[in-house]
Amino acid sequence: MDTNVPGAQDTFADFYQKYYPNVYRVCFSFMKNEADALDMVQETFLRYCETDSKPVGDRHEIGWLVMTAGNLCRNQLKSFGRSRRQELREEDIVSNGDTAAFELLQAVLSLPEKYKTAVYLYYYEGFSTAEIAELTKTPETTVRTHLRRARAKLKNQLGE
């Protein structure tokens, strides 16, 4: 993003404010502590600024940001031993005080990575299975299988 263009800083600030909560949730779900999550959020938005082929439209932007954040976090986790952990705080992810939604999101975030990504994109971001398949570079049938298995795991975990 060219910050020399008048108004470009306002545009990026709006973009950042719009997508920050989504990117933070993804980063925190991987990194498990606030400091590292914030580093990965910053790196994700930096990568967005540096990319030449920016996605167009809300659905593509959030998809690009979520996938990039996940990839950056995975790479970071591979690069050094991880022993620092921090509990997920309700105020980090739920702003309306809905504790049932908080408990459900905690359960989703505890799923294995392949299930967590599919569930998050499908239920929290509203992507179709075809869009998730394109983003994750997996067959659509695999995405549907991940969603089905994740629902079964959540049902067992939450006892409903």
18-47 tens-digit pLDDT:
999 999 988 888 888 888 889 999 999 999
User: How many angstroms separate the CA atoms of 116 and 119, rounded?
Assistant: 5
Q: Which residue has the tokens 């398949």?
A: 133
Amino acid identity at 45: F
Q: In the chain, what are the domain boundaries?
A: 1-83, 96-160
**Would the pTM count as exceeding 0.85?**
no
Mind listing the pLDDT tens digit for each residue in 81-110? 444 444 445 455 554 556 777 777 778 878
Domain 96-160 CATH class label: mainly alpha
Extract the tokens encoding 110. Answer: 């505890």
Extract the tokens encoding 6. Answer: 């008048």
Common-topology check for domains 1-83 and 96-160: no
SS3 content of the chain, % helix, strand, coil (to 5): 75, 0, 25
CB 12 within 8 A of CB 49: yes
For 1-83, the fitting CATH number among 1.10.1740, 1.20.1260, 3.30.1490, 1.10.3470 is 1.10.1740
Q: Compute the residue count for the chain.
A: 160
